[in-house]
């Protein structure tokens, strides 16, 4: 396990690596289908495919091992892909996955800051892109912001519920240990009292 800028990186599990490959293939295939209806988008080429595969691999392959690192990498890769003018499509799911995982695994203050920054960067990128394409600019950027708030909210809810469950379990263990110590102290007191009598 390696620590970089406060983030602990562990090796991704084999299943995560396999899922990352399957997800990357699905993202590429889905984008090919989505590109058909986007005449103004730049045709998908090798650079676009590399950016997409790297984003999908980072999102799924690193989501458990290093969620904040996965979010940072995915944000960079997806926004580079979008700024290059490639078609919208399943590549945006990479950000949704990493936002959810950061919110699920990290404290609310950390996840809100990291995910908020990723949402702001992505919304700015989408705003710049649709402004350049002469579409209804603000609407799509706002819709994207809402799209990132939902996975963050779900992940944060799961994080809070898990933390509450963990605290309840620790309280139960501590209470059980205290009751056992009190029972033993009572027995020792009774035995000592009988012995002195």
- Residues 131-140: contacts with CB within 8 Å, 24+ apart? 133/40
d(CA 70, CA 103): 12
Higher pLDDT, 117 or 6: 117
What pTM, to 2 d.p., does this model score? 0.75
Q: Where are the beta strands (DSSP E) in the chain?
A: 2-4, 7-9
**Contacts (Cβ under 8 Å, ≥6 apart) of 125:** 79, 82, 83
Given a contact cutoff of 8 angstroms between Cβ atoms, the answer to whether 44 and 77 are in contact is no
3-state secondary structure of 143: helix
**Phi-psi region at 138: left, alpha or beta (left = phi > 0; alpha = psi -120 to 50):** alpha
81 burial via Cβ count (<10 Å: 0-12, 13-18, 19+): buried
* pLDDT mean over 151-166: 88
Provide, rounded to the nearest whole percent, the portion of the chain with pLDDT above 70. 83
Given a cut of 70, whether residue 12 has pLDDT beyond it is no
Tell me the pLDDT of the chain averaged across its residues: 82
The dihedral built from the CA positions of residue 176, 178, 184 and 189, taken in this order, carries a sign that is negative
Task: Tell me the per-residue pLDDT of 51-83, one tens digit each, with 9 for 90 and over.
Answer: 988 998 888 888 888 899 999 999 999 999 998
């Amino acid at each position: 396990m390696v620590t970089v800028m406060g983030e602990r990186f562990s090796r991704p599990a084999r299943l995560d690596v396999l899922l990352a490959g399957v997800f990357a293939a699905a993202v590429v295939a889905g984008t090919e289908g989505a590109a058909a209806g986007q005449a103004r988008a730049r045709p998908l080429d090798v650079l676009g495919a590399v950016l997409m595969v790297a984003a999908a691999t980072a999102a799924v392959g690193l989501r458990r091992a290093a969620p904040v690192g996965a979010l940072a990498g995915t944000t960079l890769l997806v926004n580079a892909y979008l700024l290059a003018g490639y078609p919208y499509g399943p590549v945006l799911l990479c950000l949704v996955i990493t936002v959810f995982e950061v919110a699920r695994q990290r404290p609310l203050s950390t996840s809100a800051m990291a995910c908020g920054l990723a949402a702001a960067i992505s919304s700015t990128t989408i705003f710049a892109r649709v402004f350049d394409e002469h579409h209804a600019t603000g609407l799509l950027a706002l819709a994207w912001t809402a799209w990132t708030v939902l996975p963050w909210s779900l992940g944060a809810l799961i994080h809070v519920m898990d933390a509450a469950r963990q605290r309840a379990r620790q309280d139960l263990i501590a209470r059980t240990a205290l009751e056992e110590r009190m029972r033993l102290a009572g027995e020792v007191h009774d035995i000592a009292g009988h012995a002195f009598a």
